[in-house]
Structures are given as C-alpha cells and as structure tokens.
Structure 1
Amino acid sequence: MPSNVATLDTAPDLPHVEADTARLMNWLTCRAAPVPLRLAGHDWRARFVPPDGAIAARTAQGYAFTLGTRHGRICLDVASERTLLGVPGAAEALPVLLRHAIMADACADVAAAVGAVQPDALTWHPAPAAWPSNLAALGVELTRPGAAPLRAVLQFEAPERLAALPAAPPARTAPWLAALPAPLAVRIGTTTITVGEMREIEPGDIVSIERWQSQAGALVVRCATGQRGMTWTAVAEGRRVTALDDITFLHGAHMADTHPEGHRAAEPGAPADIPHPDAAQATLSHLDGLEVELRFEVGDVAVPLAELRAVKPGYVFELPQPLKQSEVRIVVNGNRIGTGTLIAVGNRLGVRVATFAAGDA
C-alpha cells in the first residue's frame, strides 16, 4: 500500500468546501441582489459569480486585508487591476507599496461603506508575513454602462458575514417550467424473493405480490416522483388515481410501515446473522440465497410541475389506460428488470410476466 495516502479532506490538490459554505455560495450566486459599489470614482454593480481559478491563482498580485481579526484577499485579472489603478501599462511592475496605496484609495468609498454597517475596521496589508491559504473563494463581477466588466475573486475567512446582504426579488417562474412534466411512478406493492428464485422466472409465469393494500374495493398505491422525491398515498380505481394525503418527501420505500398479516417486517434493531471472521468465504452459488425486493409499479405517467404543487387529499389524475390493462414494471433497486400485467389469483394480487431479465438479473 502506498505510504503517502491522505484523506480527501487533507489532499492538497483537491479543493474542499464545507457544506455551510457551499450553501452560502449558492445563495450569493443565485439569489443575492446586485451590490452597488463606488470604485475609482465610478458607480458599479457587483454580483457574485463562480470563481475563476486563473484569477484566484494570482495570489502574489492579490490585495490582502483584514476585517477586524478576519483575513481576506482580493485578486483581480490583469485588465481589471489596470482599470482600478488607472495604469494603462503593466500594473504589476509598480512597487508593491505604491500599488497597494493606489488600490486602497480606489476602494476608499467601499471601505467607508463597510465601516458604516459593522464595527470592524477594514485594513489593507501590502506585504503580509503569513496569510491563510484555505480561504473560501467567491467570484465577483462588477459592471457599469459603457465600461468593460471587472472580474475578481474575493477570498474571506468569514464568508458567513456575506449572508447579511439583501436578497434579490423572487424570480418570476417561467411558463415552460410550470408545464414541465414530472415522471410519476404509481407503486402497487412489493415481493421479496431470493436471487435463485428470480433467475428462474420466465415470461408467462405469475409472480405473487406479497405486500399490497386495498380500500373499499380500490387498490391503495404510492405515487412518487423518484426514490428521494415527492410521494403520496392514493387509491387507484380504473383509470382514476385519487390522493389520500398530502405530499411528503421520503426515500422511495413503498408502504414501509404496512405489512399485511403473514408478511411482517423484521423488527428495527433486530440482530442480524453475522458470519464469523474465520468462516470460509461464500462461493458464488451461495448468492442465490440472497433476498431481493421486487417492486411493482405503473409507469408512463407524467404530471406538470404546476399540478404537483396542488396535490392534496382528493386530487385526481388519470392513468393512460385502466390499471388492470396497464403495463406493470418490475423493478429491483431502481432498475427495471421486467414487465407484466396485473391479475387476480384468488383473493391475492399477482403479475403475469411478459418480459424478464432472468438470466442477467
């Protein structure tokens, strides 16, 4: 094994962003209102954009500062730096102290505005001895009429302070988004079988649905937009599917808390059979005894996003054809492995298999 193994959090070549910082960056980029700033005698509007790696790499030409005890740095691309310094030629050729003095003067109005809304002083540091290298990076673009945009990267030790910036007005929802169809699965029930039994299923066989529910002669189903999407319970009768409850957000388990008599789920926390560490490794043939859950659902249904917002008890949508005539998908771990049609077997429910990936399952 290599001796220089490092965790992802400490790998120097892989950038790491804390979850809270990532959420803040998303908010600043997508929802924060443009910030009016006065720089170098002109009025600009600043908005946050994804950081440019090439600009962030210009740390040697960056402008270090502290806000109270918190460290920060501003890096600009060459053209933006020349614009703010008022130097048409190579700004980087200027002496460091002179370059920082001119930039501090160009940003004097910004420093005054920052001091007016919070107590900490903004101080520039032309030649910092040591500066944190893991500062969160935020891209900034400044625009004004008749001028080329300025591009910068702001690195700050306390980015959460930027959460106090005002939010932009809510964006108007585009008409096409409201009409966007969301695929919907109507889940009928589940069955647990072994891998060996699943390999033996062929077209024409009937697979019993072990866990299902009915109510007043109608089938209780679970409508879901995905394994981790919107979901609600409904009753299906013919083509009509009527919601029984409000939308919730689950992990896609079908009727997880409902097990008909004779098909009880394992008790939470029940001890599992753990093999001894010295036990012989199971051969491939032993995998046939592993249990998998088959899920039976009706697909080819889509509901516009605008209608999903209106789902509540009593909401009705229609299947393309009656449930008993609809193609039933047989799903394992989110993957469709077969299709069939719904049938009654005495007082039980089953699916007559039309196609099945038996040998490949």
Structure 2
Amino acid sequence: MNQPHATTDTPIPVKRFADWAQLLPAIEPTTARLSRLLCDARLEARLAQQFGVTDWRVGQEVPTSWQTSGWIDVQRGRAIASFGVELAFYPALASAAAEPDASSDAGLAASLRHAVAAILLEPLFDVLGKLGLDDVKVTGLRCAGPARDGLTLRFVRDGRRFECALGPVDLAWLEPLEAHLATQRVPYARCVSEIGVPAWLCVGEKVLNVGALNQLRPGDVIVRGARAALRSLLATPQRADDAELFWGVPGARQLSTRVTLEGNRLVINTDPQMTHDLSRADAALSGTDTQGATSIDELDLPVRFEIETVTLPLVQLSALRAGYVLELPGTLHDARVRLVSYGQVIGTGELVTVGEHLGVRIVQMSNGHDPV
C-alpha cells in the first residue's frame, strides 16, 4: 500500500552552483585543446594512412603498471613539451636517463645524454616533421613518477604496442598541427557508408480523425488496420507473399521494395526504387482532407502501421537487388507495430486477429494526457 508523502516545514538548503565548483574536476584549457586535437578523426586517419598507426586511443587515466617512468623534454623554437614512457621497455633510453656520477662534468654529461636520446627518438621526430612539427630537439631527460593529470596515448605500429603519457605542452606545439589537420578531410564515403538505416515493413494504412485518435487507449483494437493479405504474418511458419519494405520517412524520399516473408527471412522481389510520395502533402495543402470538417477533432489523418525489421548500413543498403535475402533477428509474432502519421510516431501496438480480419491492438499512445 502506498504511503502518503510526509510533509515538513523544514526548509531545504539551497546552494549556488558556484559554491560547489571547487569540487568538480578542473581541466586546463590547454589540456582540453590538446584532447580535441588528439581525438580528431582526421589525425587518426592521417596516422593510419601514412604511418601505419592503428588502435589509436586517447585517455586520461594515469598508467599504474609502470615501474620506472622516464620523462623527455623536447623543444621547438621556444615552445616546450614533455612526455613520459615506461623505461623498462626502452633499455637504451633508460641508460641515457641514468644520473651521471658526481665526478663527471654535469653540463657535458647532460648534453651527451640529450644527444643519445635524440638519436633514439629520431623515428618519432621524423613523424612529427611530416605533420608540420620540425626542428625538434631534446632538452631534458629524467626519471620521475607518473603525472597526476594529463593525457595518455596508446597505439599500435608494426605489430608493437606503444604507450606514453603527455605532460605540459605549450600552445605553439598545437597550432602547426591544427593548421596541418585543417587541410585534411576524413573520407566522407567511408563515414556515411557506416550509418545504419532501419527497414520498416508496412502492414497497412487507415484514415482516422483526430477525435478518434485522442480517444485511443491501451487495449483498444483498430479493426482492419492491416491488410488482409498479411494475415499469414500470424501463422506458423510466418509467410507474406506481398509486403512492402521501405527505408525513410513517409512523405519524404523513401527507398522501397516488395518482399516475401518466410519465417525470419525477407526475400527481396524487386530492385529497390527511390520514391517521393507527395500525395498526402498535396492533399493537405489543397485542403481536401479538411472538407466538411467543422472542428479539429473531425480532421482526418492518414495512419500507417509499420514494423521495424532489420537495420542495414548504407553501404549494404546500396547493394540490395532482387533476390537478396535478409536475415531478421527474430520473428514478427511479438514485434511492435508503430502508428505513424505524417512522419510522426503517435503510438505503438501489436498485430491481432478479429474474426477474419487483421487488426492492431494499442499498447501505448504517445499523446499521453495531451491531445494528438
């Protein structure tokens, strides 16, 4: 049994959001800008195409498995940047990072260590040069713990996995790289071809006025909402010899085809065709749907009954031809039917039989307590 909510006169404390600002994680503007740059799809595409870099990942977690962190400071002009690596994976770099003994000349030892590090990092500097960051030199090499904040890069090249942590980076490092990427374009066709488009099976259409739609409640049945020819959808095994499958929004451009349903398979009977049905829009503009209507409740709306079947990427959708077989994730016995009018979903239902007729039983109407 539901208990009534207790009432109290005790005021609820209200605090300004600014009072809690210090408790939120703070991200430096330079770090945010660097993150946007490293997460840019154009950079990933360029690295993969020209340098064979794969599995490019950018994170903010601190490497916890490192035993000995080595930090390298590099300089380009007056701009300085630093990055860290696990020295256990780079023995030569670990030797260069070792502190010299007290008897040696500190300045000379540092110069030699930097020169050795520059030789070891030559492949990295070559890549940076091709990305617009040339004339890079090593200015520091030391052993230190991992940074508490910053970004972490992980990637694979030539079958070998790399990981590094980024320290402070001056803006002058980012600007040339941003300008270089501004000239790059992610392959448009590849990106678009991966977009998934759901396919809808049209099971019927019926004209209902606004008043009737507003009165629909869960459990109500719309008789003859589906074509009698599709009654076999409820049979076992399921079969429908003449059904319409389409991609797109009613009233706009659609890709449609005729299909045969056999269990959980759809067999395409005709080559898909692009159509643009303006009959409903023309009727609405000409006022034929409003003739004789004295109130909004008497306005007639075309309602389509559709079942979602399978989602295909555009690259596969463009290859569909007659004879193509689509495997459905399941049967349509328990599939939800959506009620659509002028491209707007106004409710959901399920297929039922009413005597010899095929109907749609309402499960939910999206209008809720408000009129359609």
**TM-score, normalised relative to structure 1:** 0.47
**TM-score, normalised relative to structure 2:** 0.46
Larger radius of gyration: 2
* Structure (1 or 2) with the greater helix fraction: 2
